[in-house]
């Protein structure tokens, strides 16, 4: 196949976050389960609900509470290798009350093989409140992006929304199924499983 043909072929099979809404599966070093109004806090990272401010308590949120002054990470794994060139983060900061603030610092990494590498040509990593904090970088084709944060002393932190190339990613089917279940429904299923196990043990 001619080189031009190869370029067209690969550009068609590698999705770009700028061209289409990519599918992701979020994960993190730690998740505070009570932050998503009964749903999955990880899903709050890219549920498309736009914050009114950094202390917006009316929408689901992801936080590292009650971890304080620690180094944490949160990442989005792509359904397939994807080209990305920018991210936007809306930090959760519940001042004047509460214990979450914008991080002391943060950086963006991309997965390269089995290792994580920092993205290149980043001018700064903003930590502004009440707005999206956009970072552009040399485009990478990767299977995942990771945010590493250093939390402030005696404080925790979190994220309300994460965009890639100006678009909200689409949650994987697995995460979507999880977010349809409230905490109460999960507890009911656990209770049902335990009861079934006890009954079977008694019958033996």
- SS3 for 129? coil
Q: 22-203 adopts what CATH topology?
A: Jelly Rolls (2.60.120)
| pLDDT tens-digit map of 136-163 | 999 999 999 999 999 999 999 999 999 9
**Per-residue model confidence (pLDDT) at position 33:** 86
pLDDT of residue 177: 43
Domain boundaries, the chain: 22-203
- CA–CA separation, 21 vs 36, rounded Å? 23
As given in the structure block, the two tokens for residue 116 are 């994580």
Question: Is residue 74 within 8 Å of residue 31, measured between CB atoms?
Answer: no
pLDDT surpasses 50 at 6: no
Tokens linked to 24: 């992701």
Mean pLDDT across 189-203: 57
Percent of residues in the chain assigned helix, strand, coil, to nearest 5: 25, 35, 40
Q: How wide is the angle at C-alpha 36 spanned by C-alphas 136 and 31, nearest 5°?
A: 70
54-63, 82-91, 112-121, 191-200, range with the lowest pLDDT? 191-200
């Amino acid at each position: 196949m001619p080189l031009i043909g190869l370029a067209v072929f690969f550009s068609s099979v590698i999705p770009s976050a700028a061209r289409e809404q990519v599918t992701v599966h979020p994960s993190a070093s730690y998740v505070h389960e009570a932050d998503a109004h009964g749903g999955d806090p990880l899903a709050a990272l890219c549920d498309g609900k736009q914050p009114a401010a950094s202390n917006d308590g009316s929408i689901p949120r992801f936080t590292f509470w009650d971890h304080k002054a620690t180094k944490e990470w949160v990442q989005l794994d792509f359904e397939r290798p994807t080209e990305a060139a920018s991210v936007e983060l809306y930090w959760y900061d519940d001042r004047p009350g509460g214990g979450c603030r914008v991080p002391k610092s943060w950086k963006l990494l991309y997965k390269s093989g089995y290792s994580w590498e920092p993205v290149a040509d980043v001018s700064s990593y903003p930590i502004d409140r009440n707005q999206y904090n956009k970072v552009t970088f040399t485009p990478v084709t990767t299977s995942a992006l990771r945010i590493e944060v250093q939390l402030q002393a005696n404080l925790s932190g979190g994220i309300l929304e994460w965009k890639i190339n100006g678009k909200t990613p689409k949650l994987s089917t697995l995460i979507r199924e999880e977010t349809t279940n409230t905490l109460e429904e999960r507890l009911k299923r656990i209770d049902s499983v335990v009861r079934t196990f006890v009954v079977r043990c008694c019958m033996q």
